[in-house]
Amino acid sequence: MNYWLMKTEPQTFSITDLEHSENQTSHWEGVRNYQARNFMRDEMKKGDTVLIYHSSCKSIGVSGIAQITNESYPDHTALDPQSPYFDSKSTKEEPRWFMVDLQWRKTLSRTITLKEMKDYKELENMVLFKRKRLSIIPITELEYDFILTLE
């Protein structure tokens, strides 16, 4: 069982939106970065645990927990010319982009902020700090457990 951190802009899709989705479950559309795609396509497994991270917003940081309920399948929004995630180079026969399904587990009582996470030695090796533009980030069980103790 693996642990992940997935970034989202809450004005687009927040942990609260996931909580209020049908069956508290949603697909995770719009990943358009190859390394993030590879994590999703090749390594995310059903049952993996995900920290939901809010970016580009007032309160930046970890805001909730979710779980992978469906492993990767083609991201249909890449084929939709009306979608902001449309990619003319992706086809039904050879999909370029993938998504997974996530189910809500918990909305944290407060956001564990990026700022405070940077203060802890226990988290100093987080990929989150090293790969600033990666939207899907593997984390260790120790990092996961430690972050949740901060709530």
Residue 101's DSSP bridge partners are 27, 70
Comparison of 68 and 128: residue with beta carbon closer to DNA: 128
Least CB distance from residue 131 to DNA, whole Å?
6
Interface mask toward DNA for 14-43; x: CB under 7 A: ------------------xxxx--------
State yes or no: residue 133 binds DNA (CB under 7 A).
Answer: yes
Rounded-to-integer distance, Cα 115 and Cα 136, Å: 19
State yes or no: residue 127 binds DNA (CB under 7 A).
Answer: no
Least CB distance from residue 87 to DNA, whole Å?
8
Rounded-to-integer distance, Cα 1 and Cα 52, Å: 17
Q: For the chain, give the longest Cα–Cα distance.
A: 47
List of residues 6+ apart from 97 with CB closer than 8 A: 31, 32, 37, 74, 75, 78, 85, 87, 90
Least CB distance from residue 99 to DNA, whole Å?
15
Map the footprint of DNA across residues 48-67, applying CB under 7 A: 55-56, 60
β-strands 3-8, 136-139 pairing: antiparallel
Of the residues 22, 109, 115, 149, which one makes contact with DNA according to CB under 7 A? 115
Residues that bind DNA (CB under 7 A): 7, 32-35, 55-56, 60, 114-115, 130-135
